[in-house]
A and B are shown apart, each in its own frame.
Chain A
Amino acid sequence: MKMLLESLLLALILSNLVLLGSTRVRNYVKVIALQGFILGLLTLLLHLGALSIHTLLLSGGSILLKSLVFPWLLIRAIREADVHASVEPFVGYNASLIIGVLLLPFCFWLASRLPAQLMPTMASSLPIALFTMASGLFLIVARKKALTQVVGYLVLENGIYVSALALVGEIPWIVELGVLLDIFVAVFVMGIALYQINREFDHIYTDQLSSLKG
């Protein structure tokens, strides 16, 4: 049980590092799908003692949404907006990887400083949640394309979800449903926005959006 939990958390760390180091947009989508699956398993594992129809539906729904629907929406956005395969970073891949591995000890330090009441079963997951959020933010800042910002946003949300598991344990399912609906709409809208940006300017480079005035 404990080892399974640790393996899942390690898989989460590794998937973040893969995101930081990968050069292809398609890899991003695959990793996002994988992360959704890991989170679903994590939820299921936490409630293994008292499995109810709610938790089953919730983790099943979140796996379905995060590892099937979102990747499908993203792939559609990639196809429609004709996104070129490479990611085009501001910060190079190797540098991103090194920064990622340096972020991890920082997140552990930060988590140890937080005066938070942790769930005993999930105490080890708070630093990893922080790390996931940090890598999501880093992806948003350090990559050029608008699509990678959608990915960064999703990773950020995954991090917030894990930290909620660590801090609260059981999230009321109505809240959880609301959050899932919100991200669904967000990804949907961002996909459309991406398409519109591409049609208007022939590219989706966010660094050039600010120089479009007048």
Chain B
Amino acid sequence: MNYLAFSAPLSALVLAPFLQSVINRTKATLAGRQGQPLLQPYHDLWKLLRKGAVYSSVTTVIFRLGPTVSLATGIMALFLLPLGGFPAPLAFAGDFLLLAYLLGLGRFFTVLAALDTGSSFEGMGASREVLFSSLAEPALLLALATLCRLTDASSLSAMLAGVNQDLWLGTLPALLIVICTLGVVLLAENCRIPVDDPTTHLELTMIHEVMVLDHSGPDLAFNNYGATLKLWVFSAILAGLVMPLWQALGLPPWLAFGAGMLTVAIAIGVTESVMARLRMDRVPKLLLSASLLATLALFLQQR
């Protein structure tokens, strides 16, 4: 057994909340605030884990299952994800489909748990989450399929290993479209600002946050940690795509990957700082445009 292969998911498990705090710090700096300490997400998780969970008497076992399943699928997704020079522990042809549907399964259970509470607000959030993610899914799959065509590989590890400086020079337009599409999908799937505001606390406008209103203690910690892992998964794919730019500066692969991760996190922070939230009915157009862009790239590549 090659223990080195597990370094990718393990470092992801440890570093994922840190990605969140880099985004927070970027937003704070741009807004002229000092921002919370870089280790705050870890403290928050630890605080929640020590608390007890409160369960409403009308909820069933599905409500208790939701956070656990969403965390478990997030962790499983990490095992398919290569990290810098390190390949993923699991790689097989078509594993990017498994990745997409693992995240889908996690979301499905979060939605079920939200519906299980019987609260009208949570039902509203669940309906929005399902609508937006069903529109984001074609964009994600089409972008990954384009990447598949670009690199002639069918597993996530091979695909991201195939993205090198030659590919950047040879197929720059298609690659840029893929990066844009995946960026939009990242923002939508992780409830980032043009789609949803992660810091908002008004139930009428929240999407993801409203679904986890009834969770408490360790369940909420699981949910938040699962969301962080999901953000890590999308950022890692994007970081793998921009990595060759850093490698061109002479950085070794693992450092280039770290720099890529930081680039993505700062880009998210800047996007969130300079953009306002889109009106709810504008979001489908954004996601549709992303899907159509990916279709365009796939078509131009297929020719």
Contacts and interface: CB of A to CB of B under 8 A. Distances in A.
B285 A104 contact: no
Contact of B292 (A6, A10, A98, A105): A98
Interface string B273-291: 0000000000011001100
B280 to A, nearest CB: 15
Interface string B216-248: 000000000000000000000000000000000
A93 B299 contact: no
A21 B285 contact: yes
Contact of B173 (A6, A17, A21): A6
B292 A97 contact: yes
A101 B292 contact: yes
A17 B292 contact: yes
Given A13-B296, A101-B295, A104-B299, A3 B172 contact: yes
B15 interface: no
Interface size of A as a range = 10 to 19
Contacts of B285: 21, 93-94, 97
Contacts of A105: 299
A138 interface: no
B204 interface: no
A10 B293 CA distance: 11
A13 B299 CA distance: 13
Secondary structure type dominating chain A contacts: helix
A86 interface: no
Interface residues of B, number: 14
Nearest to B295: A101
Interface string A85-106: 0000000011001101100110
A6 B173 CA distance: 8
B303 A97 contact: no
Contacts of B1: none
A201 to B, nearest CB: 31
A104 B288 contact: no
A101 B177 CA distance: 14
A94 B299 contact: no
A108 B303 contact: yes
B249 interface: no
A196 interface: no
A206 interface: no
Contacts of A7: 172-173
B251 interface: no
Given A13-B296, A105-B299, A108-B303, A97 B173 contact: no
A21 B285 CA distance: 9
Contacts of B295: 101
A131 to B, nearest CB: 11
A29 to B, nearest CB: 20
A207 to B, nearest CB: 24
Interface in B151-173: 169-170, 172-173
A97 B287 CA distance: 12
Contact of A10 (B170, B173, B303): B173
B107 to A, nearest CB: 24
B296 A101 contact: yes
B94 to A, nearest CB: 25
B184 to A, nearest CB: 14
Interface of A: 3, 6-7, 10, 13, 17, 21, 93-94, 97-98, 100-101, 104-105, 108
27 contacts: A3-B170, A3-B172, A3-B173, A6-B173, A7-B172, A10-B173, A10-B300, A13-B296, A17-B289, A17-B292, A17-B296, A21-B285, A21-B289, A93-B285, A94-B284, A94-B288, A97-B285, A97-B288, A97-B289, A97-B292, A98-B288, A98-B292, A101-B295, A104-B296, A104-B299, A105-B299, A108-B303
Given A98-B288, A104-B299, 12 more contacts: A3-B169, A6-B173, A10-B173, A17-B292, A21-B285, A94-B284, A94-B285, A97-B292, A100-B292, A104-B296, A105-B299, A108-B303
